[in-house]
Amino acid sequence: MTISEENYLKVIYHLSLVSPKGVNTNAIAGMLDTKASSVTDMLKKLADKDLVAYKKYQGVTLTENGTLTAKMIVRKHRLWEVFLVEKLNFSWDEVHEIAEELEHIKSEKLINKLDAFLNFPAFDPHGDPIPNEKGEIIKLQKQLLSEVALNISYKCVGVKDSSPEFLQYLDKQQIALGSTFKVIEKESFDDTLLVEINNNKITISNKIASNLYVQ
């Protein structure tokens, strides 16, 4: 497979988690910053390889083969992120683009050895689950900080937005995976939260709270 084909499969996989009945070609074009006509051409190629099921105007879904292939790309990406953070001391806001390049390495033996070397991590540095070599994924029960009840302790287990800007903001606020939260007050006007985190009280906007997963 080409790098472009792998990128398409990964994007379709991520979008299908939100739209399991079919992914819109315009959504794919938006994610890949390309033209809808180019997306259509690629979907036809992927369909010929039995990686997607595509009907014009009805969206696209991954076949069983396509789903497993996409999961293996995601697996490589997230394992490399763990390696970069845990073994090379990269910060969590630096690893995504590097892992985007490393995920296209073809050696299955290398990735399985990397998995074992890292002691088979279940989650990447952003809290996203890592598929195992069979494509199986641990499902974590979680909710957004913006939706939790008051005066109950929660632990940060992931981020919805993994952009460098958001992760750098969290670092400034000393918010990380494993941080404990307790929402003390919720402003009715704009849903701003007064939060006790790691024994400190800070104000968090609804936008921030809507991008933090807790359990």
Q: What is the pLDDT of residues 182-195, one digit of tens each?
A: 999 999 999 999 99
Buried b (16+ CB within 10 A) or exposed e, 91-113: ebbbbbebbeebbeeeeeeebee
Residue pair 156/177 in contact by the 8 Å Cβ criterion: yes
Q: How confident is the model at residue 58 (pLDDT cuts 50, 70, 90)?
A: confident
pLDDT at 20: 86
Residue pair 63/52 in contact by the 8 Å Cβ criterion: yes
Delineate the domains of the chain, giving CATH numbers in brackets.
3-62 (1.10.10.10), 143-214 (2.30.30.90)
HSE-CB for 145 with a 13 A CA cutoff: 37
CA dist 186 and 191 (Å) reads 6
pLDDT at 199: 82
CA dist 115 and 179 (Å) reads 26
Kindly state the average pLDDT of the residues 124-132.
96
Strands 60-62 and 212-214: unpaired
Kindly state the average pLDDT of the residues 155-177.
94
Find, among 92, 97, 61, 63, the residue nearest to 77 by Cα: 97
pLDDT in tens, 1-40: 899 999 999 999 999 998 888 999 999 999 999 998 899 9
Q: Helix 64-86 vs helix 108-117: angle between axes, to the nearest 10 degrees?
A: 50
pTM of the predicted model as reported, rounded to 2 decimal places = 0.90
- Structural Rg of the chain based on CA atoms: 19
CA dist 201 and 151 (Å) reads 13
pLDDT in tens, 195-211: 999 888 999 999 999 99
Residue pair 158/126 in contact by the 8 Å Cβ criterion: yes
CA dist 205 and 166 (Å) reads 13
C-beta neighbour count of 82 within 10 angstroms: 21
Instruction: Report the chain's mean pLDDT, rounded to a whole number.
Output: 94
Residue 2: strand, helix, or coil: coil
CA dist 42 and 57 (Å) reads 15
